[in-house]
Structure 1
Amino acid sequence: MNLINYADSALSLLPPVVAIVLAVFTRKVLLSLGVGIIIGALLLTDFNLANTASFIGDTATGLVWDDGALNAWNLNILGFLVLLGMITALISVSGSSRAFADWAKERIRNKRDAKLMTMVLGCAVFIDDYFNSLVVGSISRPITDRYHISRAKLAYLLDSTAAPVCVISPISSWGAYIIALIGGILTAHGFADTGHLTIFMQMIPMNFYAIFALLLLLCVAMFTLDVGPMRQHEQNAQKGELYDESKGMPPGATADLPEADTGKISGLFVPILVLIAATVFFMISSGADALAADNKPFSVLGAFENTDVAQSLLYGGLVGFVVTFILAFVQKVAFNMIAKGMLMGAKSMLPAIYILLFAWSIAGVIGQLETGKYMASLATGNIPFELLPAVLFLLAGLTAFSTGTSWGTFGIMLPIAADMAMGSDSTMMLPMLSAVLAGAVFGDHCSPISDTTILSSTGASCHHLDHVWTQLPYAVIVALISIAGYIVLGFTSSVLFGLATASVLFVISVLVLKAKSNAQ
């Protein structure tokens, strides 16, 4: 069927806007995403109902079968989710989660330590944002629960150490992808003298959002800066209500599971360490195979650049599951308990899988509408050169918010930022590219249709929209600080002045938040 082109039309924004607004008012994620999908399909098919139904059917089918073959990426991610659910449940059933909580009680003595532990783990597990959110959530949840830290706060801790760490880490799936993109862009514009990895490292201090999102998270963990809806969730957690029970069980929750009395902390650490090691191995291995197929020399960075992330997660999950299963037998856990744990663990991931499938569907619709291209076209107007870094930050944020994807935003906005820099002042190339990276992470943090945000909710076992609304004020605070930094950078052409301005505003913001927190 012939689809209508909306690349130059503001109507391309309608499906994501409707979905997001509906989510705000109804608090029903699947309903909101479903309406957005239908509206997008109607627009694309010029309101032909038969073609609309056919398009939606093709979109749904494409989630599992695409271009005459299985959609390996989607199926591998879903398989990893199910495996991780079973691993988490088996660790709980074996009593290892409780043993770890008891062990940590002697070493992690208060809420602050529990939050700092989660943040440190989040920064340490930097190979991939999906992996970060889900695995660190599984490790940290028994401890944060013990110290009455709300699941919304845990989700914020996970989400704000996932993308912000990955986007400035060269040895990660994000870093490799960004280096490949930027390398191609700079080579096309004649910047081939400096190594691509060196350029990426030079851009890290210019990624204001990632830097100050991590610093704000540290201050929140240290000083209990509960802003907006987060305050209510933390107050409820003090009363024993870790999540909003009126909304039912959140994704990833495994309630009412029996626990063996023979649990050991090795039953938690060994499976998680094996899971991490196996996933890293398969990421490097699949990347090495891709390099060999293209007759390219092996390098770790090259392997990460060419790795199959979804497949590596699935294979790593399988290895981790086998080890967890064996350890449960070694710890003499009854088979009926193991079977119940596996079943409940798999079922616990179903809410996240449903949301993810709908999010992927609306992302496909938005891609057909070319919403990202319309957002990018807004940057080509008569904008003063000095404001371009700040404007690119905002447009990248809006694009990621509307489309739910940082990586898609990188692919759309980075070439445009490079062209704009070459057309005005090539010395601002790296700051403008950095502003796009920062804005995309900001938009991803705010978007309820972002898969990273969805999986952070799952890792924390938090209701998805509760995570979105509680994280939003923190993201906006950091975004405003970043915009100010990019404005100063644009007018002074000095990264140091931009960073200094943002740092001063950051300190002021933290002092104000701390004063309000103390007053309350």
Structure 2
Amino acid sequence: MLAIILALYTKNIVLSLSGGIFLGLFFLHGFSFLATADALVALFFSLLSEGWILKTLAFAVLVGSVMELMQKSGGINGFVSFMTQKTRLVNSPRSALLVSYFIGVLIFIESSITSLIAGAVGRPLCDKEKVPHAKLAFVCDSTSAPVSSLIVLNGWGALLLGLIATQIQTGIIEGDNVNLLLHSVMYNFYAMSALIVTFLAVWFNIDIGAMKHAKLSLAKTALHVNAHVSMNYMLIPIFLMIAFVFVFLYITGEGNMLKGSGSTSIYYTMLATLSVMFLYYVGTKNMSVKTYTKSAYIGAKKLFPIAVILLFAFAIGEVTVDLKTGEYLASLANESLSLFLLSGVIFLLSSIISFSTGTSWGTFSIMIPIAVPMAVGMDADVALAIGAVISGGVFGDHCSPISDTTIISSLASDCEVIEHVKTQLPYALISGFIAFFLFILFGFMTPGSS
């Protein structure tokens, strides 16, 4: 709560996260300033020794290099020229945002890559049509995680299958984890409602709350399009990022993409993409080796602060896990709960935990081992309970200013994190209310169907 309040008040996300981390450690270490200071150093050393965290931070920095190189090559200008002058497919703010919307829906393999590509493609089009970057960030964020949690042929599916399999192996439930997951995804009401609400907001240009006052980018983007530069200098790197994610998920999963490592895959994807870009850009004399190197450095430097924010977001997530925030909230709900309200309460609990910790995956890991036994014990629909966990995890993560997906969507769209959170929140709350209503409704319609 301290981190969130400070973020909204100071608009300094690193300061806000630092305050939350320090207070949490202060509680954990008996209100001793010396012990808290030691624990703070130990926490960051521990995080920076985790391979997946280092790879995720490297991914955030390397994203900057890719985006800067695409801009420097002229490929983005060529793409804008093609979309706005040659084909006239993009000739309004609505069409500019719809391009990013459909990219977000179609590229479901990894939420970070989805946000990055939707933002990279949509940003020059939105600048051309004078669309605020906050609106682009809303579209990127509202499609990437929801679609990834609905079409589970990715890391999301791998995690959920593993968590459900654990419940089967321990004898809590019976059946096949794949069938149960597919059944549960049918109850992922938040993801469905978020996609519909986002599409309607774009199609009818619905601005509510802070979005009415979203500011246009003041960046001096090169919008004097150069029709002589091929848009392939932008499209080929984007295609490579999509293809390499599949390749590295297959490799790290030893032949099974569902078992692949998401953090390793996106890290190697960026390295491989940059390597091919070097050969392509320098080989076609688009730029010299010196220009390539300098541009890659400038891009990485621009996004280094984002990597720092991500590190602090991981740190506060670790602190909330140590404080057992999720288990405590779940225990409160388990004391007196109606069968008909079970899925609605699980959705709210998962939302609160995900919002507080900034991680949907962490929420799944906390809540599925709690929600499944609750559903079995009350003879409720297990798939509905798991669907409520998935929906709540995505909803809370969607709203949270300390979420890595929130930060990456802001990064991809060149929008301040706090502005993105404030402008997106009303739409997310509408989708969340719809999802909550549906969970209550289905709770009354499907009791005792475990």
Deviation at residue 148 of structure 1 after TM alignment: 1.3
Counterpart code for 1:201? L
Deviation at residue 256 of structure 1 after TM alignment: 8.4
Gapped regions of structure 2 (runs ≥ 5): none
Instruction: Give the aligned partner of residue 312 of structure 1.
Output: 265
> Please, which of 392, 413, 418 is the counterpart of residue 465 of structure 1?
418
Q: CA separation of 1:259/1:332 partners in 2, compared to 1, >3 Å: closer, same or farther?
A: farther
Q: Does 1:101 align with 2:55?
A: no
- Contact 1:376/1:412 (CA < 8 Å) preserved in 2? no
| CA distance in structure 2 between the partners assigned to 1:228 and 1:342 by the alignment | 38
Deviation at residue 258 of structure 1 after TM alignment: 12
State the Cα deviation string for residues 120-140 of structure 1 (Å, max 9, x = none).
101111111111112221122
Once structures 1 and 2 are overlaid, which stretch shifts more, 393-402 or 133-142?
Answer: 133-142
- Classify the secondary structure of the residue corresponding to 1:332: coil
Q: Does 1:174 align with 2:153?
A: no
> Please, which of 128, 143, 158 is the counterpart of residue 125 of structure 2?
143
The 5-angstrom pairing of residues 182-331 of structure 1 reads 182-189=164-171, 191-193=173-175, 195-233=176-214, 236=215, 241-242=216-217, 263-288=229-254, 303-329=256-282, 330-331=284-285
Counterpart code for 1:276? I
Q: Does 1:92 align with 2:45?
A: no
| CA distance in structure 2 between the partners assigned to 1:258 and 1:349 by the alignment | 25
Q: Does 1:153 align with 2:135?
A: yes
Tell me the TM-score normalised to structure 2 length.
Answer: 0.94
Identical positions, percent: 35
| CA distance in structure 2 between the partners assigned to 1:262 and 1:348 by the alignment | 28
Counterpart code for 1:268? M
Q: Does 1:129 align with 2:141?
A: no
Instruction: Give the aligned partner of residue 402 of structure 1.
Output: 356
State the Cα deviation string for residues 87-141 of structure 1 (Å, max 9, x = none).
1111110111100011011222222222111111011111111111122211221
Instruction: Give the aligned partner of residue 429 of structure 2.
Output: 476
The 5-angstrom pairing of residues 472-511 of structure 1 reads 472-493=425-446
Deviation at residue 358 of structure 1 after TM alignment: 1.1
The 5-angstrom pairing of residues 16-31 of structure 1 reads 17-31=1-15
> Please, which of 328, 350, 355 is the counterpart of residue 304 of structure 2?
350
| CA distance in structure 1 between the partners assigned to 2:433 and 2:355 by the alignment | 16
State the Cα deviation string for residues 249-274 of structure 1 (Å, max 9, x = none).
8xxxx968999986311111111111
Counterpart code for 2:239? L
**In the comparison of the two structures, how many residue pairs are matched?**
444
- Contact 1:94/1:262 (CA < 8 Å) preserved in 2? no
- Contact 2:245/2:269 (CA < 8 Å) preserved in 1? yes
- Classify the secondary structure of the residue corresponding to 2:143: coil
Q: CA separation of 1:274/1:397 partners in 2, compared to 1, >3 Å: closer, same or farther?
A: same
- Classify the secondary structure of the residue corresponding to 1:37: helix
Q: Does 1:48 align with 2:14?
A: no
| CA distance in structure 2 between the partners assigned to 1:304 and 1:19 by the alignment | 36
- Classify the secondary structure of the residue corresponding to 1:305: helix
> Please, which of 344, 359, 362 is the counterpart of residue 390 of structure 1?
344
Counterpart code for 1:37? I
Deviation at residue 485 of structure 1 after TM alignment: 1.1
Instruction: Give the aligned partner of residue 395 of structure 2.
Output: 442
- Contact 2:112/2:405 (CA < 8 Å) preserved in 1? yes
Deviation at residue 381 of structure 1 after TM alignment: 1.4
Counterpart code for 2:198? L
Counterpart code for 1:323? V
Q: CA separation of 1:322/1:481 partners in 2, compared to 1, >3 Å: closer, same or farther?
A: same
Q: Which runs of 4+ in 1 moved over 6 A?
A: 254-261
| CA distance in structure 2 between the partners assigned to 1:488 and 1:438 by the alignment | 15
Counterpart code for 1:444? D
Gapped regions of structure 1 (runs ≥ 5): 1-16, 66-70, 289-297, 496-520
Deviation at residue 335 of structure 1 after TM alignment: 4.5
State the Cα deviation string for residues 211-254 of structure 1 (Å, max 9, x = none).
11001111111111111001111xx4xxxx22xx6xxx8xxxx9
Q: CA separation of 1:255/1:74 partners in 2, compared to 1, >3 Å: closer, same or farther?
A: farther
| CA distance in structure 2 between the partners assigned to 1:270 and 1:344 by the alignment | 21
Instruction: Give the aligned partner of residue 340 of structure 1.
Output: 294
The 5-angstrom pairing of residues 60-79 of structure 1 reads 60-65=44-49, 71-79=50-58
Q: CA separation of 1:63/1:467 partners in 2, compared to 1, >3 Å: closer, same or farther?
A: same
- Contact 2:388/2:439 (CA < 8 Å) preserved in 1? yes
Q: Does 1:36 align with 2:15?
A: no
Counterpart code for 2:24? G
Q: CA separation of 1:260/1:80 partners in 2, compared to 1, >3 Å: closer, same or farther?
A: farther
Counterpart code for 1:196? N
Q: CA separation of 1:224/1:331 partners in 2, compared to 1, >3 Å: closer, same or farther?
A: farther
Deviation at residue 205 of structure 1 after TM alignment: 2.4
- Classify the secondary structure of the residue corresponding to 2:208: coil
Counterpart code for 2:397? D
| CA distance in structure 1 between the partners assigned to 2:45 and 2:166 by the alignment | 33
Deviation at residue 192 of structure 1 after TM alignment: 3.7
- Contact 2:75/2:229 (CA < 8 Å) preserved in 1? yes
- Contact 2:76/2:231 (CA < 8 Å) preserved in 1? yes
Instruction: Give the aligned partner of residue 329 of structure 2.
Output: 375
Counterpart code for 2:197? L
